[in-house]
A and B are shown apart, each in its own frame.
Chain A
Amino acid sequence: MAVELDVFVGNTIIMSEEVYQLWLDGYTVNDAVKVRMEGGVLDEFDAKADVVLSDTMDQYRTFQMCERLLHSPTKLANQLLFQIPPHRQATLIERYYAFDDVFVREVLGKKLSKGTKKDLDDISAKTGVMLKSCRRQFDNFKRVFKVVEELKGPLVENIRQHFLLSDKLARDYAAIVFFANNRFETGKRKLQYLTFQDLAFCAGQLINNWTVGAVDNMVEDMDVDLDKEFLQELKELKVLITDKDLLDQHKSLVCTALRGKTKAFNEMEANFKNLSRGLVNIATKLTNTKDVRDFFIDLVEKFIEPCRSDHWTAADMKLYLTHYTNSAHILDTFKHQVVWDRYMGVIKSCIFKMYHD
């Protein structure tokens, strides 16, 4: 007695968020049935396995049919095939575009190309995210990237409008696009301790302050590429370390301000020149694409690691960077206050975010 055909179609879409999640996670129908039954659908409703199977199949088919629409979410709102209440539409989209932090952490900064796609097996094995789900997430990144690449206007806003995502998710996607576009290196072992949220926050800082869009908001690619002029100007900061007087003056100003306020004062004083050189060198090298890619690794190696080995607390870090930044304004021969602020503002918040275990 084989069931040859079995369908159930409602005038309004019939879906359970639980099954949708299983589908998104890449479970096969049979595995999904198993999970559901273990999850207690049975006890709750005296349902036999075949009933759960039939229900799961119906929903899987529905999701598959919706998937095409989900690729361009704006269509979902004015398509006629399925009658989906607005809050359901929002759920469908938001969940479809949601991703696993562990997965995205792996591909962050990689080129969204066929080559990377081939590595998904390994990533799947490493992260425990099912391959099917990895593919979906990867394709989502690629799709979003492709669409917003060519658009004018603010990145986050574009993503939100074209994919109808929530503000939070749109920001995350902006970060992913930004990382992919600039190919920041994030995979090194030293960077492993950073979560996606850390990096996404930093990306947000960079997008808001260092891109073309930060100054001019009607340029193509404005939010995706760093502001070249600004990067050029950063070279000027070199005086802070090349000019011996300036360096000493800067050091003494910072030390005066810090004295007595922190236990790590001695280490700060001892390391000042090193640390300052580190930060300024990062700034001056950013015209180089290769060095842009190493931005995060440099931050960690040149600044975060030395501080950590000296057991600075987060508060110490904050205190130090605040005074380090502000003191530069008092240096009378230092003329590049604007660039300095634009640079240090981002560096400060990135380091605050990245300074943890």
Chain B
Amino acid sequence: MPGKLKAKIVAGRHLPVMDRASDLTDAFVEVKFGNTTFKTDVYPKSLNPQWNSEWFKFEVDDEDLQDEPLQITVLDHDTYSANDAIGKVYIDIDPLLYSEAASVISGWFPIYDTIHGIRGEINVLVKVELFNDLNRFRQSSCGVKFFCTTSIPKGYRAAIVHGFVEELVVNEDPEYQWIDRIRTPRASNEARQRLIFLMSGELQRKIGLKVLEMGGNAVVGYLQCFDLEGESGLVVRAIGTACTLEKLSSGSGTHTHPNTAPASNACNSPSKDGKEPVFGEDLPSSSGPSTPFRALPTSSSSPPPFSPSKPCSRQSSSSDTDLSLTPKTGMGSGSMGKDAGPLKTLLRQQTQTALEQRQEFPFFTLTSFPSGFLLHVGGVVSARSVKLLDRIHNPDEPETRDAWWEEIRQEIKSHAKALGCHAVVGYSESTSICEEVCILSASGTAAILNPRYMREGCLDLGGSDQRWFEDPSPSSCGFCHIPYDELNMPFPAQLTYCFHCRRQKVPDVLFTTIDLPSDAAIAGKGCFIQARLCRLKKKGQGEANATAISNQLPFMEYELHTQLMNKLKLRSMNALFGLSIQISVGENMLLGLASATGVYLTALPAPGGIQIAGKTPGDLNTEQHILNIQKRINDTIAKNKEFYEVNPPDLTEEVVGSPIPEPRLRSRLFRSHSESSDELSELDLSHGKKDAFVLEVDDTDAVEDIQSLLTDASPPKGFYSCNTETMPGIYNWTSALQMFTSVRVLRLSNANLSNQALNKVFTDLCENLLKSFYFKLRSMIPCCLSHLVFSVAVPEEDLIQVAVTAVAMTFDKDQTQDKPAEKPITKGCSEAEDQLQFSLELCTDSSSINSQSSSKNSGVPESSHLSTRVSSLEHSSPLTDGRSRSLRSSRSFGGSSVSVVKMTPLSFLPGTRIVKYVGIINMFFIRETTSLREEGGVSGFLHSFVAEVFAMVRAHVAALGGNAVVSYSMKDCVLMENPNKNQCQCLINVSGDAVIYIRETDQEVTGSTANIRLSCTSSADGAT
């Protein structure tokens, strides 16, 4: 179906001086879409031209509408010589293609040049008229909505979750084509930018098609990545979760007024109608994201494992290395896709693949779920594989890359099965490339999901027994219960009865890649935990190199895991959420970085302490030394407990005694056995009423390890940090926030570093970055750094690059006290009646008891609880309000016309409500300079580039009518420098969801953009 694209060039401002003689510019504009180009008149001698052009109309296929960006080029007219380009603007018109998003793109866009950066601004209007047509064989997928957000977007409910969608497209990289030798860097950069725009448009369209064929209308958790494979080509790939989303229209009305708790109550109780469960992020979540007030009426019991050993990480073996030429996957596994549906005959072949894949890979890129969706969590599953890159010969057949991923996904799937799970949630994929070697990684969390929410056939339920779905277990602990068979455990683990319900087994430690479920019962606050590892590697070529890397991977994963475990214990916590392990390859080293958010789940047993054991008991010095270390460790644990307020209810301890199963299992967890048990018994083990985790000090390495364990400084007072969406234990956000990106590159001066020294360097780099953030953002205290995402790279030999994007959010300190009091209620009310006696025990706060009785009948979150929470919210709002108002009043200053756009990597903005998603932002920029010194060196260069990227994102969002970007992320930041030649090039890829939000306190939903712009205030002025 064709569509009509219309564009109008209104004006320009702040243009650069292009004519030295007159200090002015004779600017005109070329508007290009596909192969059609229009030009405006030349507006002579002005730096602020007013073109006010006619409407340029392009009649095009909607397929092109999806693939192509609108390309606007601003030029300086020159009578005698060639016209000089000032810069370009690419506008993705995808958001105009579905009805609910933006209807017009209108605003000031920075004019961007890859060599000079931003050079003035241009005001553009763009509209699209689509003609409806119901061609079943169409190639386009207009109308499918894309969200980067990894949860069900606010204001929607997921009617059906269809499952995994993936696609990749490949092409030659223009930078490596022969023509690149003769064209200017500018031309080459622009060719590349344009190509990537096209490729990601095409990719999105193809994924959209798959979604339509599955019967869905949206992709949530859309994750798109670029692999710059150098000589061998350019790969753009994406994964996501296909859903059928429905807009919550009435719901949003109800929730505008937090006071009407009962009404909203009705609305968010999924259990009301068993057949058609409804969930959505419909609450006025001023504090937490999604569902802070909800108690989940879930069902089912079953647990999550993860044991100290290494169940989470299984590497693919080195034999993969030579697989780069493997033929297209057979896609074996007699998939159940065969009986897909009556429509099938109509579907093209591609469709079949889509269907098969969906059923073959029950993967979900979501990290937080509507209540009732996630039943049990098994643990982290991950797979890696090392490949040798080969030139992509035929871009139209990207089988090789497809096959690679296919393999990895199969492996993930089988890991999940081994954990007794039928699905993988919080799933993501990544690559690390160095020369011709490529490490492909995938990871996720094995889980059991409630099939009610799934489309039939989406999950393979055959194997797993039905008991999970029938046996209701409280949502506060249900997800912790093990999904696998206790007698036939996939790995050694220490099981106990759940400390909450006492009915199901739970593991002693739980690692996951997802966010903490909003209704999980926790003690204290969460904490950012990072394991860092740096390993030297011999330089090598080809297969030998790949094999060497491949052989190292298991050891790295093991060590990262041990570090995580130790650090977790050191903080007295027993679960990790949002775990992401990144392994980057360089020419002469491998970097491993694992980040996660630690938390104390009250359903799991209390972690034991850490115990140091010496190998040679005779030596007095050593013993003294060990005693010292032990003391320091104990002190640290005590300090951490206090800092993170980890005070699990004591009474649980008493009951523990009996249900602990098979004590014999325990010893296996130790890294090694202690031979000096006599000495140990004299040590103070106050932290472990239960078994302590034993670290053996047998050589200097171990000492170093322990030292490094202790060097991790906890954040300064008033600061918390986490890498998940919400900070466990903090609920009362105020509205100030500051999103930031920081990049640091370290040059290793000494070429002959040992592994140990290298580790230290790397650890210090990460620690110093964190310290630096705390310092810079100190004016925001009390504050939490959320969604800390680190990405490491080895851009060239002896360089380590760490890029971080995160958001600092303030919270109201006084109110942190409120939550613990209310929490037992949350726990209590979701308990089924027969578990009442247990929950009573757990409710240390007597005030919760009355609410409990009411919940007895329904299993639905009852209103008294809701309203308590709500009132605390209202309490917090006046503060926010007053603050922003004062800012607003000063806003008239200078007649500013730039609307404020907030940015956050989270899916929500505290104190506000997202009323509309106006489109996905997916942008790719290249910046190059040949005058590096003049631009202030690499730091100056990158600083302005990052600022420019932010500016362009904000401008696009504002032009779509949005006032914020949520789920923002910087996918890539590739920096190549050549200081000797005074050159530098950088590529940045960012994405996010453009939204319109209104402040929570604004009672009336006006919907009109004008009002919204007014209400958007700039309370986000970060550090002073």
Complex: chain A residue closest to B736, CB-CB: A12
B894→A76 contact, CB < 8 A: yes
Q: A3-B745, A85-B887, A86-B890 are in contact. Are A80 and B951 (CB under 8 A)?
A: yes
Residues of B near A80 (CB, < 8 A) are: 108, 110, 118, 121, 898, 951, 954-955
A52→B775 contact, CB < 8 A: yes
Q: Is B329 an interface residue (CB 8 A)?
A: no
Query: Of A1, A6, A9, A74, which is within 8 A of B740 by CB?
Result: A9
How many A-B pairs fall under 8 Å by CB? 180
Q: How far is the CB of B949 from chain A (nearest CB, A)?
A: 9
| Interface 9-residue window, one of A57-65, A206-214, A236-244, A261-269 | A57-65
Residues of A near B749 (CB, < 8 A) are: 1-2
Q: A51-B771, A55-B775, A61-B936 are in contact. Are A5 and B745 (CB under 8 A)?
A: yes
Which secondary structure dominates where chain B touches chain A?
Answer: mixed
CA distance A79 to B954 in the complex (A): 12
Number of interface residues of A (CB under 8 A): 51
Q: Is A7 an interface residue (CB 8 A)?
A: yes
Q: Is A113 an interface residue (CB 8 A)?
A: no
Q: Is B772 an interface residue (CB 8 A)?
A: yes
Residues of A near B14 (CB, < 8 A) are: 75, 79
Q: Is A301 an interface residue (CB 8 A)?
A: no
A-contacting residues, B908-952, CB 8 Å: 936-940, 942-944, 946-948, 950-951
B-contacting residues, A25-56, CB 8 Å: 45-48, 50-52, 54-55
Q: How far is the CB of B960 from chain A (nearest CB, A)?
A: 15
B742→A9 contact, CB < 8 A: yes
CA distance A62 to B1022 in the complex (A): 14
A77→B776 contact, CB < 8 A: no
Residues of B near A84 (CB, < 8 A) are: 1021
What per-residue 1/0 map shows which CB atoms of A82-124 lie under 8 Å from chain B?
1111111110000000000000000000000000000000000
CA distance A8 to B804 in the complex (A): 9
Query: Of B121, B943, B1021, which is within 8 A of A9 by CB?
Result: B943
Q: A55-B772, A61-B940 are in contact. Are A4 and B898 (CB under 8 A)?
A: no
Q: Is A180 an interface residue (CB 8 A)?
A: no
B775→A45 contact, CB < 8 A: yes
Complex: chain A residue closest to B938, CB-CB: A5
Query: Of B746, B892, B939, which is within 8 A of A61 by CB?
Result: B939
Q: How far is the CB of A167 from chain B (nearest CB, A)?
A: 14
Residue in B775, B936, B1020 with the greatest tally of chain A CB atoms within 10 Å: B775
B775→A7 contact, CB < 8 A: no
A11→B939 contact, CB < 8 A: no
Residues of B near A3 (CB, < 8 A) are: 744-747
Q: Is B683 an interface residue (CB 8 A)?
A: no
Residues of B near A75 (CB, < 8 A) are: 14
Q: A2-B746, A12-B1021, A45-B778 are in contact. Are A7 and B939 (CB under 8 A)?
A: yes
Residues of A near B108 (CB, < 8 A) are: 78, 80
Complex: chain A residue closest to B781, CB-CB: A45
Residues of B near A9 (CB, < 8 A) are: 740-742, 943, 946-947, 950
CA distance A89 to B900 in the complex (A): 13
Q: How far is the CB of B893 from chain A (nearest CB, A)?
A: 4
Q: Is B148 an interface residue (CB 8 A)?
A: no
Query: Of A14, A52, A61, A164, which is within 8 A of B1023 by CB?
Result: A14
B-contacting residues, A156-190, CB 8 Å: 164
Residue in A1, A12, A13, A17 with the greatest tally of chain B CB atoms within 10 Å: A12
Q: How far is the CB of A31 from chain B (nearest CB, A)?
A: 18
Query: Of A54, A55, A65, A78, which is within 8 A of B943 by CB?
Result: A65
A81→B118 contact, CB < 8 A: yes
Q: How far is the CB of B474 from chain A (nearest CB, A)?
A: 40
Residues of A near B774 (CB, < 8 A) are: 45
A65→B738 contact, CB < 8 A: no
CA distance A8 to B1022 in the complex (A): 13
B1021→A47 contact, CB < 8 A: no
A1→B761 contact, CB < 8 A: yes
Residues of B near A82 (CB, < 8 A) are: 947, 951
Q: Is B160 an interface residue (CB 8 A)?
A: no
Q: How far is the CB of A131 from chain B (nearest CB, A)?
A: 21
Complex: chain B residue closest to A10, CB-CB: B740
Q: Is A16 an interface residue (CB 8 A)?
A: yes
CA distance A76 to B14 in the complex (A): 11
Query: Of A12, A47, A90, which is within 8 A of B1022 by CB?
Result: A12
A83→B900 contact, CB < 8 A: yes
Q: Is A15 an interface residue (CB 8 A)?
A: yes
Q: Is A154 an interface residue (CB 8 A)?
A: no
Q: A1-B761, A5-B743 are in contact. Are A10 and B887 (CB under 8 A)?
A: no
Q: Is B902 an interface residue (CB 8 A)?
A: yes
Query: Of A15, A46, A55, A81, which is within 8 A of B947 by CB?
Result: A81
B1022→A86 contact, CB < 8 A: no
A87→B894 contact, CB < 8 A: no
Residues of A near B1021 (CB, < 8 A) are: 12-13, 84-85, 87-88
Residues of A near B903 (CB, < 8 A) are: 11
Complex: chain A residue closest to B738, CB-CB: A10
Residues of B near A81 (CB, < 8 A) are: 110, 118, 947-948, 951
A78→B746 contact, CB < 8 A: no
Query: Of B738, B742, B896, which is within 8 A of A11 by CB?
Result: B738
B896→A86 contact, CB < 8 A: yes
Q: How far is the CB of A261 from chain B (nearest CB, A)?
A: 51
CA distance A17 to B953 in the complex (A): 27
A-B contact pairs, 6 of them (CB 8 A): A6-B939, A81-B951, A85-B1020, A86-B891, A86-B893, A88-B1021
Known: A10-B738, A16-B1024. 7 other contacts (CB 8 A): A5-B939, A7-B942, A15-B1024, A16-B1023, A52-B775, A85-B1020, A90-B893
Seen from chain A, the residues whose Cβ lies within 8 Å of a Cβ on chain B are 1-17, 45-48, 50-52, 54-55, 57-58, 61-62, 64-65, 73-90, 164
Q: Which 9 A-B pairs have the closest CB atoms?
A: A77-B894, A5-B745, A77-B896, A85-B1018, A8-B742, A4-B745, A85-B1021, A9-B946, A10-B740
